[in-house]
Structure 1
């Protein structure tokens, strides 16, 4: 692994993923982590994994972005000590909090998504995976996109500050002495508004002849995932099967009751 992206969700992780793919990296974003490594990463979140297990899981992968890798970044860095670390941030914590809560709102209000997750075996596994994320402080946000629970915005912002401060502190050698401090040229604090130059300088790559990508504005990634990703294509197939079984069961019960 060459790059570990440690930024919290809604700090431009989807834009960074697109940018890194444009630069030629093989990136495991949220979808790839779920699609290929669901059971392994659930174990990593629930009880932990060894460095050898992480090296097996991410063999051939150049970059990880988004969750859960962002919360496992320290363990990943122990397994891949030569990897560079990118910490994506927003302008300020208020901007990030507004964006994060908007993402949950969009997911909660997506009726198709709620329907798919209820009727699919894979969807229920993904929800169980989401529950494992609560071990990393996401109880400060709704534990499921479908729960209309009150949110303490101060606590959400505090989690954001804690995460970012810890990444910076560990990489600059101010805490966690068990992890060898990363040289300063191995950590980039990056905002999407900075564009190609600081990213390409950090990675030693030429600047592409293309605009810097900007994805997932206003939580639009939810509809994109439901409509386009292989994960949700599988979930939809499982839902069709579940509905067919349910229809047959209802027909049979109707036949038995009214015969």
Structure 2
């Protein structure tokens, strides 16, 4: 049975979409990412349960995955370390101000629109509230949001033994990642995807597609 071997502890907008592709190219396939949640919105029910303090749902949520990155799993890095004691921890980081500017244009500015199905919205609202209770809030000002980002990264650095942790600076390419994992550097460029300019368009497509799927399902 596949088990999680890499726990991504970094917030979204720290190069996690590119890292997802990189890890999968290195054989850590599949890698769980927030994009998986958007494609399978009903998993937000179990993720909400985990975020609200019941980690017993995590093995089922992550069954078959070899790595995690981004939200919501990064908010549960402590629980995942206990669940997968041999997994390595990957803390993706970037300059805090640069992170905030990127996040403000994307994940801190959620898409709203008439095309989002009401049942989808009903799933996402408690999920968003549960992430907020774990520290990822969208209602804070710039200084407070950056402080949250910095505190999270400092907590991971302090809470993970150095031999188990890689602090990965976005944009540094294959070498530090492959050295950490004991893998050969692939003969392909490091992936680059999901920049701020394309984020909102891509998420909008996912939400519109999910809304259509949910609308075709019988109501509970």
Q: Is the Cα contact below 8 Å between 1:77 and 1:83 reproduced in 2?
A: yes
Match of 2:9 in 1: 6
1:41 deviates by 1.0
1:159/1:105 Cα in 2 relative to 1: closer, same or farther (>3 Å)? closer
2:134 matched to 1:130? no
- Tell me: CA distance 1:116–1:210, structure 2 relative to 1, closer, same or farther (3 Å): same
Higher normalized contact order (CA 8 Å, seq sep 6+, divided by chain length): 2
CA RMSD of aligned residues (A): 2.3
* Alpha-carbon separation, structure 1, partners of 2:44 and 2:107: 21
Q: Deviations over 1:52-82 (max 9, x none)?
A: x433332221001111100001101100010
Distance in 2 between residues matched to 1:157 and 1:169, nearest whole Å: 18
Q: Which runs of 5+ in 1 are unaligned?
A: 143-150, 172-181, 242-259
Q: Which residue of 2 aligns with 1:85?
A: 89
Which residue does 1:62 correspond to in 2?
Answer: 66
Task: Give the Cα–Cα distance (whole angstroms) in 2 for the partners of residues 105 and 71 of structure 1.
Answer: 16
CA distance in 1 between partners of 2:208 and 2:25 (Å): 24
Identify the range of structure 1 (23-32 vs 8-17) with the bigger mean alpha-carbon deviation: 23-32
Q: Which of the pair has more CA radius of gyration?
A: 1
Q: TM-score, normalised by structure 1?
A: 0.74
Distance 1:240 1:37, change over 3 A: closer
Out of 44, 47, 50, which is 1:44 matched to? 50
**1:114 alignment partner, SS class:** coil
- Structure 2, gaps ≥5 residues long: none
Contact 1:8 1:88 in 2 (8 A): yes
1:124-203 to 2 correspondence within 5 Å? Answer: 124-139=122-137, 141-142=138-139, 151-171=140-160, 182=161, 184-203=162-181
Cα deviation, 1:130-156, whole Å, max 9, x if unaligned, reads 1211101223x23xxxxxxxx411100
- Deviation string 1:60-113 (CA, Å, 9 cap, x unpaired) is 2100111110000110110001000000010x21111111111147644xxxx5
User: Partners of 1:167 and 1:221 in 2: how far apart?
Assistant: 26
Distance 1:85 1:121, change over 3 A: same
**How many residue pairs get matched?**
212
Question: 1:27 touches 1:62 (CA, 8 Å); kept in 2?
Answer: yes
Aligned partner of residue 74 in structure 2, secondary structure: coil
Against the structure 1 CA distance between its residues 71 and 106, is the aligned structure 2 distance closer, same or farther, given a 3 Å change threshold?
A: closer
